Amino acid sequence: MGVEVVLLGTGSPLPDPARAGPSTLVRVGGRTFVVDVGRGVCMRMAAAGVLPLMCEAVLLTHLHSDHVCDLGDVVTTHWVMSQAPTPLEVIGPRRTGEVVAGVLASLAPDIAYRLAHHADLTWDPRVDVAEVGPGIVRDDGTVLITAAATDHRPVEPTLAYRFEHEGSAVVVAGDTLPCPGLDELCRGADIYVQTVLRDDLVSLIPMPRFRDTIDYHSTVDQAAQTAAKAGVGTLVLTHQVPSPAPGSADEWVEVARRHFDGTVIFGEDLTQISTP
């Protein structure tokens, strides 16, 4: 059995009625993981046949708001659907604990109301936080998860994750420029999921804060170059910035094909990709 990837959300920070916020589901070795929890993640999880209670862990690439903004919904849904006290594991870079503490503080009134109303709900939501850096995140003999440092400065630290099982490998990267850590993590991967930006389009937007995004995201060209250098089988373009115009998918793919002769997939919400 290989590794399955489902793009739960492929949107950017700006709301898009067709795209949820950045989030990627990975099914590997009979386990389910979610990388990043952007806007609308629980709705997209339900559409993919998964609920938060079915996930072994949430992994965060970084702590930008668009990648974590629905963590509260994941925590609450996991909690109220549990039949007994069941921790939700959240793995991420330094300061993840700070974000989780803030989320739980924001939920304090709701938690109190539900405990007061439901006689069979007698425990607070429990979130187990693991702040990690580059290296092995999990290795149980069946599934190996490795993290590598990426470059999204001034946002730091930031991480990408590699999932391995029975000879198959998938890399899920968040917002990052090309960097040595990403190159090494992607080496020989079957699937490489990368958030991407079209600098030729963003540079036309007459607002500095939008043009600023060019200097800390991989362009489509750069993602394709990373995939080619690492010998990746399939490059998946997600979290496309700016929001793609209807019917423009082929245009994005053609940009990537200038540098990469493997399979290129333009991500839409609920796109599914599997390793052989």
Catalytic center residues: 66
Pick the closest to residue 121 from 131, 137, 110, 130 (CA basis).
110
What's the rounded Cα separation, in Å, for the pair 217 and 176?
5
Q: Which helix (H) or strand (E) segment is 136 a member of?
A: strand 135-139
- DSSP class of 215: G
Q: Which amino acid is at 228?
A: A
How far apart are alpha carbons 53 and 197 in whole angstroms? 33
Angle at 235 between CA 212 and CA 190, to 5 degrees: 135
Cα–Cα distance measured from residue 74 to residue 94, given in angstroms and rounded to the nearest whole number: 20
b/e 51-66 (16+ beta carbons within 10 angstroms → b): ebeebbbbbbbbbbeb
Quickly count: other Cβ atoms within 10 Å of residue 165's Cβ: 21
